[in-house]
Amino acid sequence: MSGPRRNRLGLARERTPIVRFGDVDIASSAEAINTREGLDVLPEAQLRLKLSTTPDSADYLAPVVIAMREGGLEHELFQGSVLTAVLEGEYAVLKCAGGQLLVESLMGRFAAAFMTAPEIAHMAARAAGLDEDRIVIPALEDLPLQTFEVLTGLEGIEIDTPIQLGSVRLLPAGTAEPLAAHIDTGEETDLVEEFLGARAYALSLVTETVAYRAESDALAEIDWALAWLSVHLRYGLVRLPDGRAQPFSRVAARAQPRRGPLVGGRALQTGGRWIHAASSQAALTVAGQDALQSSAIPNSPSSSLRQAVLAARRAADDLDPIQRIGALWEAIEFLVRGIGAPTPLARAQRKALRLKLIDVLPPEHHERVDRLIALINEAPLMDKLRLLIERDSIPFSAGDFELLKSLREVRNEALHGGDPTAGPKPEELEHAVALLSRIIFHTAERTARGDGGDRG
Amino acid sequence: MSEPSIGEAVDLEALVHHASQITSDLQRLWQEALDDTRRSEVGEQLRARWSAVVTAINEASKALTERLESRGLDPRLPELLPFSAQVATFSLDPTPEQALRQAQMGLLVAFDLLSMALGELLREEGDGEQPNESRDWDPSAFAIARERAIMVSNLAGFVSQAEANLLGDARIVASATPPALARLSMARAAWSHGDAEAACVHLHVGARLLIGDLLSVDSSALPVDIAEHLLAQHGQSNLGALLKLLQRSVETVVTGAETDLAVVTVLVPNLLMALDDLALRPPVELLRKAFADVVDSKPQ
């Protein structure tokens, strides 16, 4: 595909290319657009961006959509992510690819036995973050309901007899052999050996039809049990809540029980089994010279910036989407610390309101009155974020705000209203973390210029 | 790809726990009798989970047969259930090979018992003489299946231990439930069935195991008359008095005489409470003094 073609006779309908990074339209800056797709390859696209006209809010980490508008209709030609942007004079030459989340979080090291191709395909697609309703594999419907053993190596735990923790059973070293039997490791010769070498295991049993669903349910149970165990280990009172005295070891109290890098599963009716790198996390990649040479670290960062960056790292790394969103908003709270917003109540109004309230309330409630009046004057977090973005001239689109707002709602629902009905899509979370990085960078830059002050 | 082979379960006791959990859920749903669709789903889960237990027991048996054959040992058992001609040759002090045979036979008898309970639980609606009969379960069927499955799981552990003693390389996964607590649980089960005498036997073993655990000594090292030791140290000990009565009652059972039904009926619930309390708030110092000779002689 190339730019708009001539239509001298006016017979062909006008065709206009559409190129968007998230909700930012960059079509007017895009040239030499080429897209390609086929049954045997992931979709690809290439284009050149004229830097002088590219909007500031264009973000390489936002989802890329290339489409053609023709006669009022929009035909999507490509959907994916930017892989590389190479600077060439006044242009950036972009290579894009579709299905990138699939490639980035593919299970990597994987070995299996007695599993059918549809089961493996489903596992790979779900592990890559595709929604269940986007995967159509009819053969999965014919699989029997059966019990799966899901076993993951543990770090930070050493036991010599099994321990039942709710529905999860912690097992000592040397108990995983039956699951690994018959697995042909192919080129991954050390995979089984590494799996069998764990110092302890967590076993969860799930009765399901599809292997991936069984594994996800089991890992959620195991993660919950390990999180609980971490909390329990840090309980330091001499007696437990039921009155029993508890033994104590400082070393144990500092332990961090967590899943090892590999997970194995086995279906106890069909015999299908697998071992793979236990990653719903993206595959680890490496940042090279080009990516790092433009890095600069702020000198003497404020404590709020430091804490914001640490929280942002959790937002980027954590396995659980709700935890990631929580960390993202925690980072934003640090960033907006000290942002002054217009207050609805002036000093005199506050004073008058206080006098009225303490007149009718007993003294023990007066401190509460002060706090509530202060709360009325406290701007909502979204408002403070808008002010920060305006103050630091951070490129931010309406869609960017909408994304953060929707994640705030997910967080609030999870925190106050029960289980969120629909979690964010992986690509939305990745984009939100990119937005957070954008805010941090611009805020740090402003501070470095000396016009932001140290709010820490 | 070769024929799928399932192989031994990672942990048979965990499978029994998993199956028992859904049994409890189904029992509750059945009693609430609200939603037919949900009932049917849970019923399918019930079948799948218990099928996994049955498969795992079969697989363990197959694997043992292969290991015995590979060592040149005859894996065949001499006769069919219930091994009537063999039982007279059983020994309580067997050779390792004999111990394995006995354990295998014990496991098969327990498995037969479990199969009967599961057959009742897993029977499809409409099975039997009246095809359209409404499916219903006797609530006790759930408890019976759970208890028999625990028995099978315990005996499977026996088989593994016997195999380890004979062949030296069996894979043994210990129980997640400490033996003392398992005994108290069995005492509760017997008591709930109205069998106070069986509950007494379990409590007698359980109390010794529990005191052994609390003192970190093997229960076999404790003196036979643990009640007397407790009373000698602390004359007002309620636990000591209860254990003394328990010991007398169990001795009566062992001699084949009738127990005093009234005494054991009152004794069991009180002992269950006292032993729960002992586990929860152990008077360790008192126990140490009462069994000082055992604790002091324990190798460091």
* Contacts with A244 from chain B: Cβ below 8 Å: 280-281
From first to last of its 456 residues, what are the pLDDT tens digits of chain A?
A: 444 455 555 556 677 889 999 889 999 999 999 988 765 556 789 999 999 999 988 988 888 899 988 877 888 888 888 888 888 889 999 999 876 555 554 456 778 888 888 888 888 777 665 666 667 777 777 889 999 999 999 999 999 889 988 889 999 999 999 998 888 766 666 888 999 999 999 999 999 999 988 998 999 899 888 888 887 888 888 877 767 777 788 888 888 888 998 999 999 999 999 998 875 455 556 666 665 666 667 777 888 988 999 999 888 888 788 889 999 999 999 999 988 877 788 888 888 888 888 888 888 888 888 888 888 888 889 999 999 999 988 888 888 999 999 999 888 888 877 665 567 777 788 889 889 988 988 888 887 777 644 443
Give the residue carrying structure tokens 């999180």.
A227
Q: Which of the 8 DSSP states describes residue B127?
A: -
- With an 8 Å Cβ cutoff, are A203 and B14 in contact? yes
* Contacts with B177 from chain A: Cβ below 8 Å: 164
Chain A nearest-CA distance from B202, in A, is 23
Number of CB pairs, chain A paired with chain B, less than 8 A apart? 100
- Residue from the list A161, A182, A268 with its beta carbon closest to the beta carbon of B56: A268
Please state which architecture CATH assigns to domain A299-341+379-449. Up-down Bundle (1.20)
Q: Which of the 8 DSSP states describes residue A51?
A: G
- With an 8 Å Cβ cutoff, are A244 and B174 in contact? no
Nearest by Cα to B10 from A226, A193, A272, A172: A172
Which comes out higher in pLDDT, residue B42 or A44? A44
- With an 8 Å Cβ cutoff, are B280 and A162 in contact? no
- With an 8 Å Cβ cutoff, are A269 and B55 in contact? yes
For residue range B180-207, list pLDDT tens digits in order.
Answer: 998 999 999 899 889 999 999 999 999 9
For residue range B113-156, list pLDDT tens digits in order.
Answer: 999 988 887 776 555 544 444 456 666 778 888 888 888 988 98
d(Cα A394, Cα A79) in Å, to the nearest integer? 26
Which comes out higher in pLDDT, residue A13 or B250? B250
B266 part of contact set with chain A, CB < 8 Å: no
Q: What is the DSSP string of B27-80?
A: HHHHHHT--HHHHHHHHHHHHHHHHHHHHHHHHHHHHHHHHHHHTT-----SS-
- Residue from the list A113, A147, A162 with its beta carbon closest to the beta carbon of B18: A147
CB neighbour list of residue A363: distance below 8 Å, 6 or more residues apart: none
Instruction: Tell me if A127 sits within 8 A of A101, measured CB to CB.
Output: no
- Percent helix, strand, coil in chain A (nearest 5)? 40, 25, 35
Give the residue on A whose Cα is nearest the Cα of B15: A205
- Order across the sheet with A24-25: list the strands: A24-25, A15-21, A64-70, A73-88, A91-97, A41-50, A30-38
Q: What is the DSSP string of B202-238?
A: HHHHHHHHHHHHHHTS-GGGS-S-HHHHHHHH-TT-H
d(Cα B173, Cα B164) in Å, to the nearest integer? 12
Q: How far is CA A319 from the centre of its chain?
A: 7
CA dist A155 → A49, A158, A262, A284, A379 (Å): 47, 8, 11, 19, 44
- Residue from the list A161, A178, A270 with its beta carbon closest to the beta carbon of B174: A161
* Contacts with A203 from chain B: Cβ below 8 Å: 10-11, 14
What is the value of ipTM here, to two decimals?
Answer: 0.82
- Residue ranges per domain, chain B? 12-131+138-167, 179-296
